[in-house]
Chain A
Amino acid sequence: MTNFATLTRMRIRLTLRNKMFLFFSVIMPFGFFFLYAGIFAKGVPRGVRYLLGPVIALTVMGSFWGLSAALVMFREQGILRRFHVTPVTPSDMLASSIVANFVLTMPTVIVEILFARFIFHVTSFGNLFSVFLLIALGTMSFASMGLFLPATYLVTELQDAIYWSAAPWSRDFLIAAASLVVWAALTFFLSAQLFRWEPESKIPGRAKLLVAATAIPFLLLGIWENSSSHTISKAKAMAESLDAPSKPDAPSGNAH
């Protein structure tokens, strides 16, 4: 536990000293924020509110890339080998990455919400508790292996939470949260199993099977989502509500 804590502190400190971090975690997210809010949503509060979900999801993913790239660099430079001869475990290494990632992403997300509030006059952010719960789950599931599926759930549910004020107990929210939790747990387990300290070491064949096995439930879920067009119809509903006659200045539905 103490190893995890000291490693987390080190990762945060090192990231703050890294100029790449500034780009991935500060400049890029705000760039997207102003691009989406100012141009795609034309600065209209309702539109900004609609696109805030995807922007926050992008922020979460962007900082994930920064941090996991750092871990890969640590391996390639032979830095992880030095940790390997200490009592530090792969779980310590991964968990500290995730928590450092979360701590470093939160301020950007909060500033984005504040910008939406004070620059674009978005007055309601739906269920903020849901929003932060999703961000926490999102960081966790991305930190291990950022794949397409958690991205879908994170984007649509963040939109739901912000736009429809989805409460943590709504059915769709529970499905999304549950899949993010399962995904986070599975990928964490897998990553700890597959963790490589050495630059040249190969992933054992047994591990590849494990990855395939983990992907199956999500593949099925994906097929079901596709055939039922559940997620897509939800996006349509949201887009259509933007085009509702009561808001003649709302942006067009194909904004994203």
Chain B
Amino acid sequence: MANSILQVEDLVKRYGDVEAVRGVSFAVEEGEVFGLLGPNGAGKTSTVEVLEGLRTPDGGRVSVCGLDPQRDSAALKHEIGAALQSTSLPDKLRVMEALRLFASFYKRRRNPEELLKRFGLEEKRNTFYNQLSGGQKQRLALAMALVNDPKVLFFDEPTAGLDPQVRREIYDIIEELKREKKTIVMTTHYIEEAERLCDRVAIVDHGKVIALGTPRDLKAHSGGTTRIEVRLSKPESNGTLKSLEGATDAREVGGTYVIHSKRSPQTIVSLVKHLEAQDNELVSLEIASPSLEDVFIEMTGRRLRD
């Protein structure tokens, strides 16, 4: 903790009367991909923007690479790279010009040619920014975050508004950075993204961290039950289903029986046996493994929606 590359303690950020961040604390270790997961307006972006030195905190302490983002702003900016939310470039700036321009601001630089190749933008090198697709703009934003070979990377909603295929492209890029042991702090409201990319996740809601840990730990902690959804040809009582092997809960929701189980294979086997004995039939069966969404629902009573 003492030598964490990034530390946040009791961070508070207000906008007028609105308290966007209400006492957030966490620490990020070197080489880690750390995610802030939460719905829109949870305070993720405000937290990240304080860490980048873009916003002044109203309380608490923050340190990035041993620097104070406010006091040592000039020094810090050489150490960080960022892909911001709702950012843009001049329409008539070409891809390669953008990389060269931003590289020129730093003492430590990476070769723009190499970045262009790596982010698959070689063919677009002379294209104006306003002629790029959403995915290409985002790839350029990520490439630009790397021009100074930063110690800490901030990706604020790196895949928001992109279609699923482009989103997967961005995941591949972030996974590659992860293999290179880059320290990344990212925000997202996509469960899949947090589970797939992050070593550790802080679940944020209403300006507070409500849970923090590895995606696996968080899921295990929240009961870790698998959801089995079945439709039957004849009605069955909830009580009988609850008594199936490994089952912890069973409910009928609109004609579908939702069974929660700690050992799903055994539960399914005993369900099938039970149905055979009752001369009942399975119409459909779906299994959903526990996700961070279940964790969020359990802690807030709400869904974490797009």
The answer to whether A and B come from one shared complex is yes
Could you list which residues of chain A lie within 8 angstroms of chain B, going by C-beta atoms?
Answer: 2-3, 6-7, 10, 13-14, 17-18, 74, 77-79, 81-82, 84-89, 197-198
The yes or no answer to B87 lying at the interface (CB within 8 A) is yes
Contacts of B92 in A (CB 8 A): 14, 17-18
Q: Kindly list 5 other residue pairs between chains A and B, CB separation below 8 angstroms, not including A2-B104, A6-B105, A197-B54.
A: A6-B104, A7-B101, A10-B97, A82-B87, A82-B144
The yes or no answer to B244 lying at the interface (CB within 8 A) is no
The residue from A10, A17, A86 contacting B77, defined by CB atoms under 8 A apart: A86
With CB as the reference atom, state the residue of chain A lying closest to B16. A202
With CB as the reference atom, state the residue of chain A lying closest to B105. A86
The yes or no answer to B86 lying at the interface (CB within 8 A) is yes
Could you list which residues of chain B lie within 8 angstroms of chain A, going by C-beta atoms?
Answer: 52-54, 74, 77-78, 80, 82, 84, 86-90, 92-93, 97, 101-102, 104-106, 144
Contact B80 A85 (CB under 8 A): yes
- Give chain A nearest CB distance to B125 CB in angstroms: 16
Q: Could you list some 11 contacts between A and B, CB below 8 A?
A: A2-B104, A6-B104, A6-B105, A10-B93, A17-B92, A78-B87, A81-B54, A82-B88, A84-B54, A86-B105, A89-B74
A37 to B50, CA, bound (A): 56
With CB as the reference atom, state the residue of chain B lying closest to A84. B54
Contact A78 B54 (CB under 8 A): no
With CB as the reference atom, state the residue of chain A lying closest to B102. A86
Contact B88 A85 (CB under 8 A): no
Contacts of A198 in B (CB 8 A): 54
Contact A85 B84 (CB under 8 A): yes
- Give chain A nearest CB distance to B184 CB in angstroms: 15
A86 to B80, CA, bound (A): 8
Contact A78 B104 (CB under 8 A): no
The 8 closest A-B pairs by CB, nearest first: A17-B92, A6-B104, A86-B105, A85-B82, A87-B77, A82-B87, A78-B88, A77-B88
Contacts of A84 in B (CB 8 A): 54
Contact B90 A79 (CB under 8 A): yes
- Give chain A nearest CB distance to B69 CB in angstroms: 11
- Give chain B nearest CB distance to A72 CB in angstroms: 13
Interface-centre pick from B52, B53, B104, B106 (highest chain A CB count, 10 A) = B104
- Give chain B nearest CB distance to A168 CB in angstroms: 37
- Give chain A nearest CB distance to B64 CB in angstroms: 12
Contacts of B90 in A (CB 8 A): 14, 74, 79
